[in-house]
Amino acid sequence: MLPQPASSTDPKSLLRAREGLILHQALCAVANLGVADLLEDMRTVGDLARELQVNEGALYRTLRLLSGQGIFEETAPRTFRNTDVSRSLRSGVPGSLRPMFIFWGSEFCYPCFGEMLYSIQTGEPSRTKLAGMDGFEYLRHKPELARIFDEAMTSTAELAAPSIASAYDFGAWGSLMDVGGGNGILLSYILRAHPTLRGVLADQAHVLERARQRGFLSGELEARTTMEVCDFFQAIPSGCRAYLMKSVIHDWNDEQSRTILANCRKAIPRDGVLLLVEFALTGENLPSTGKYIDLAMLVLTGGRERTVDEYRKLLASTGFRLDRVAPTAAEFAVIEASPV
């Protein structure tokens, strides 16, 4: 019998699940407003409300809830300041989660979860039902939302990047292409951790332009880095021994994933390697971040998280052999596969 998570016989424990929805949306709201930026100094709710041009009573009720959860601190009646937790909601600080909460509360994400029943009934992403197009096409039509998405992906990648860079010997391959690597923040951590490695950032042209503007691969890394335009549904550039994709395959269903992996197989040399960084689900019914993201993929993109065995079969169908799985401290795993 598989181990089961601890549970309570009190049905009221089930009712507490709805509190997560309210807490999440309160965090998204204060992230949008930039409350944590203002609370580096203690402020009264009245001062905050005037500066933010919001309703004072509603703002107080929101901060009261969040303070009760240890996110802010009420130091005197109707006066608040940051805690170590809320400082992660500030703008432009290392490890900031503000962009992530803004994105998850945005029109791209939040309405889709209200239509989860549709996705369960059909197996199709509710994003397509709501917008009539897939998520990435929708972002192409919404440049400001695409910017928010970009900021969110950068902030979450920055949290995991150090543990990924140190969990696997990327330097052993000499050259590494980060396919669909976005702003290049993960590649920058990997290059710094492996000083003999040469890196290539491969993505669509407009993404690479943003990467140049962000500058994660500038300075001392510039001499070891190049950028190449890539649409992984069409073709992937050759020229490296190792090919990395982080959180790419989970965005797509099996058929779409096979197209991407088949293009990888054409690019990777016989003595090369494919490295997938994904949540590798276990068969045990225990809590995991990957299982939450799995349902997010269901409603947002039509993709999915997979078990190691599912990755093994998917890889085998496109000419790869799964060799090993290297865990990281960030719940991700580095899945190493060789061409056969």
Q: 192 and 289 in one domain?
A: yes
Predicted local confidence at residue 1, as pLDDT: 39
What amino acid occupies position 256? Q
Q: Give residue 263's domain range.
A: 160-339
Q: Kindly state whether residue 8 falls inside one of the protein's structural domains.
A: no
Question: Residue 274 above 80 pLDDT?
Answer: yes
pLDDT band at 9 (very low <50, low <70, confident <90, very high): low
Return the biggest CA–CA distance within the chain: 68
- Domain ends where: 30, 60, 91? 91
Average pLDDT, the chain: 95
Q: 170 and 77 in one domain?
A: no
Contact at 8 Å (CB) between 337 and 315?
Answer: yes
- HEC profile for 182-216? CCCHHHHHHHHHCCCCEEEEEECHHHHHHHHHHCC
For 116, other C-beta atoms within 10 Å of its C-beta total: 13
Predicted local confidence at residue 5, as pLDDT: 53
Q: Kindly state whether residue 120 falls inside one of the protein's structural domains.
A: no
Q: Kindly state whether residue 103 falls inside one of the protein's structural domains.
A: no
Predicted local confidence at residue 11, as pLDDT: 83
Q: Kindly state whether residue 29 falls inside one of the protein's structural domains.
A: yes
Residue 14: both structure tokens together: 């089930």
Q: 167 and 258 in one domain?
A: yes
Question: Residue 10 above 80 pLDDT?
Answer: no
Measured distance CA(297)–CA(252) in Å, rounded: 8
Predicted local confidence at residue 167, as pLDDT: 97
Concerning whether 250 is annotated as a catalytic residue, the answer is yes
Question: Residue 281 belongs to a domain with what CATH number?
Answer: 3.40.50.150
pLDDT band at 283 (very low <50, low <70, confident <90, very high): confident
- pLDDT tens string 41-76: 999 999 999 999 999 999 999 999 999 999 999 999
- pLDDT tens string 241-267: 999 999 999 999 999 999 999 999 999
Question: How many domains is the chain built from?
Answer: 2
Question: Residue 35 belongs to a domain with what CATH number?
Answer: 1.10.10.10
Q: Kindly state whether residue 282 falls inside one of the protein's structural domains.
A: yes
Q: 308 and 176 in one domain?
A: yes
Predicted local confidence at residue 4, as pLDDT: 52
Question: Residue 161 above 50 pLDDT?
Answer: yes
Window from 14-18, 116-120, 122-126 with minimum mean pLDDT: 14-18
Measured distance CA(188)–CA(183) in Å, rounded: 9
- Domain ends where: 91, 111, 142? 91
pLDDT band at 7 (very low <50, low <70, confident <90, very high): low
Q: 168 and 293 in one domain?
A: yes
Question: Residue 38 above 70 pLDDT?
Answer: yes
Q: 189 and 61 in one domain?
A: no
Predicted local confidence at residue 13, as pLDDT: 84
pTM of the model: 0.93
Q: 67 and 173 in one domain?
A: no
- Domain ends where: 62, 91, 120? 91
Q: 165 and 60 in one domain?
A: no
Question: Residue 294 above 90 pLDDT?
Answer: yes
Q: Kindly state whether residue 49 falls inside one of the protein's structural domains.
A: yes
Give 123-132's long-range contacts (Cβ < 8 A, gap of 24+): 123/298, 124/302, 125/298, 125/299, 125/300, 125/301, 125/302, 126/299, 127/299, 127/300, 127/301, 128/302
Q: 297 and 194 in one domain?
A: yes
Predicted local confidence at residue 244, as pLDDT: 98
Q: Kindly state whether residue 109 falls inside one of the protein's structural domains.
A: no
Catalytic residue among 24, 194, 206, 250: 250
Measured distance CA(331)–CA(220) in Å, rounded: 30
Q: Kindly state whether residue 122 falls inside one of the protein's structural domains.
A: no
Report the percentage of the chain scoring pLDDT > 90.
91
Measured distance CA(234)–CA(189) in Å, rounded: 28
Q: 327 and 216 in one domain?
A: yes
Predicted local confidence at residue 49, as pLDDT: 98
Q: 168 and 78 in one domain?
A: no
Phi, psi angles (nearest 5°) of residue 163: -70, -35
